[in-house]
Structure 1
Amino acid sequence: MVEAVLIDLFDLPANLQNIIQGLLHNTLETIEKCSSIHAPFVYVMCCQRQGSERKDEQGFLLPALRDFQNLKRRLEVVHAVTTAAALYTIKQRLDEKDLSIIKVIVPALRKDLMKVYIDHLFTAVYQFEFEDLPVVSDCENLQIPELHGEGQTFSTQDVAHIRSEIQMYLENLPSLNGELTILRSSLIPDNIFLHGFTTRTGGISYIPTLSSCNLFSSSKRRDPQIVVKENLRRLANAAGFNPEAFHRVKVDHANAVCIMGKTEPDNYDGIVTNQRGVTLAAPGADCIPVLFADPVRKACGAAHSGWKGTLLGVSMATVNAMVSEYGCNVKDILVVLGPSVGPCCYKLPHESAKEFHRIDPKCVRLFDSASPYTDIRKATRILLERGGILPENIQDDSITDQNQNVTLCTACHPDKFYSHFRDGTNFGTQIGFISIKD
């Protein structure tokens, strides 16, 4: 069942008011007849002409809107200077109401154009169906700007232009829920490395569980890649790294490690480099973002360590890659565990918790229960120490920074961090990042 209808009047000339009113009236009449029981939300997308008053523009549409009592409370006219701005505003309305099934009624000559915008601004969470707005058959005198015909492919240059328009719009949006904040550890020397762990504030993601500096996009969440890219740009600007030389692990919840400069695996949870100016990152939304730094050999790494990756030894796999690739001495490597779900909150099924109990009984609390509390941080420390990392070279919740604790519990601090455990499917993601300074 269609939950929302988007009517695209954006490129229809404002001087043909009577024709546009007729088009809108006929379209709304059809919607109301077809959905008399469950009226969908209706959004009418219009261009706000440069130098015009919004009230004047909306005023000429009023005669077409008056007759639809069933739709009256569910109908909104959205004016904007660009298609990107109008569509993003409508996306916000859809997300406020958690709507996902949308019919787009669009002039045939704008259909392919609209699909490109939608591909950039939405994810697979949403379902779209398209219907032609009959501007040609009903209005023979109506001329709209010449665009690609239906079914034609947009060139790379066309897509780049649309992407640029969206990016420019997003760059001008205000930051939400406070300033962008980065947590840093004094264990990693800042004269050699640039590093940090992000919190959830200072980005543009507006959905409550993703607000506001979400740094990961997936087909199951509502933040598209282009929004995450803007959040990353703001982070890079604040932290001082180049977002174009940024490499995030491809999460597989396993222990494969990517060596920068060599063939990239399909999936990996660890990544290492000795190249200056290249920023490595690992995500976390309960899983541990782990950072590695060797100030002697000037090499660094990042790893994503969830409970599966912890058991598979992803942190020591990352250490071993630094040793084998860059000649690092394990006793020189510094390791910092970032914000992650703590033993105060994290439970695992008994069968999985048993594996942590085998590492050390201290990693599990209430072991005899069906879902014991499990400490993936302690397990990570124990495995690192067994691999030769010096205890004093590991920072976690047992050894916190005198100035700033970077290993806080993500589930316990909803104002600071995202948490899959706490927030459910549409959760946001923070990262740990590190690079060798130029």
Structure 2
Amino acid sequence: MRARSPCASDPAASKGRQHLEAVGETRGPRTAFQRDRDRIIHSIAFRRLRHKTQVFVAPDGDHFRVRLTHSLEVAQIGRTIARALGLDEDLTEALCLAHDIGHPPFGHAGEDALTEALAHAGGFDHNGHTLRVLTYLEAPYPRWRGLNLTWETLEGLAKHNGPVTRPGWEMAMVDQGYPLQLSSHASLEAQVAAVSDDIAYDNHDIDDGLRAGLIDFDELLTVPLVRAGWEEVLRRYPDVETGRLRAELIRQQIGKMVNDVIEETRRNIRESGVSTVADVRAAGRTLASFSGALASQEHELKSFMYARLYHHPRQLEAAALARQIISGLFAAYDADPGGLPTEWQQDLPDSPDGRARHIADFIAGMTDRYAIGCYRRLVGDIALPEGF
């Protein structure tokens, strides 16, 4: 077993939870971070990820990724990196599994529509909404709202992409009730979760884009990082039909990125001189990262993916329809809250901002297919392209 790094988060030294829990309420021999991971997995919000957009809106194909499968893939990559670096795997996994829980239906298109609808009430941010879901909207316990996760898990979700200097209203409200030191960097486990997210979607979106026919393989090979990986695969398997090697290309590329992050992070830790978790937070820079050379290549890959996949005409058409659905739902509920489920009507705030945020909370929790059904019931029919 690899030795535990002195920079690893220690569940026994956790800053604790916002609400005190009696010892007798602890079920099973688990660490604090293991309990966080399990609470996330058992949450309603986590289950909803199986019907929320990753790249393709409400995909018909059984083999396309959704938020749930993406989160599982991020967790697998995150645990691999954390294990190699001697970090806490359970905290890393919890952060990977929960990082997308705040996404509304239809991914970024849905988020854009909610941001516009809440322009007068502080906007909408999926990262801040993740914290709102986990600290307020999920309510499975009898004495408090939220999952009562540890400070380290909430901090990591807030800051896994770096310090937050201008938090939106959702994150600001959580921070006000349970300060998360937003101006500092997060733990190495949170930083690993962030780079694992990049590795997962960089590669798995290629897989889905090829499967959907939106990415041309020959064009993909113009990306230097991919071209080098493909040439390596062909050298390794010269006698295998090339059509069977595309999955190997994805695996090879993930492995290259994972190994690069492990080596670069070790080098950064060495050169920065950090030796405690507190040192990591005070380092003033991200330590878990790609090397400079691979970061440049990864940026080129992202540019290609935006041009060829994320901004593909079919994707833009789907995004426009998705924004129409979310905007239409918000307007319908705002005009007549009687369309909300009874329990949501009962908690409707009186203030305009509070009302708007309440409606957005409800819509953000929807799955793609539920949102489509609600739109058709409350607003009217909508013609959706095949595969939507």
| Interval containing the TM-score (normalised by the shorter chain) | under 0.3
**Structure in which a larger fraction of residues adopt strand:** 1
Q: Which has the higher helix share?
A: 2
Structure with larger RCO (C-alpha < 8 A, sep 6+): 2
Q: State TM-score, norm by structure 2.
A: 0.23
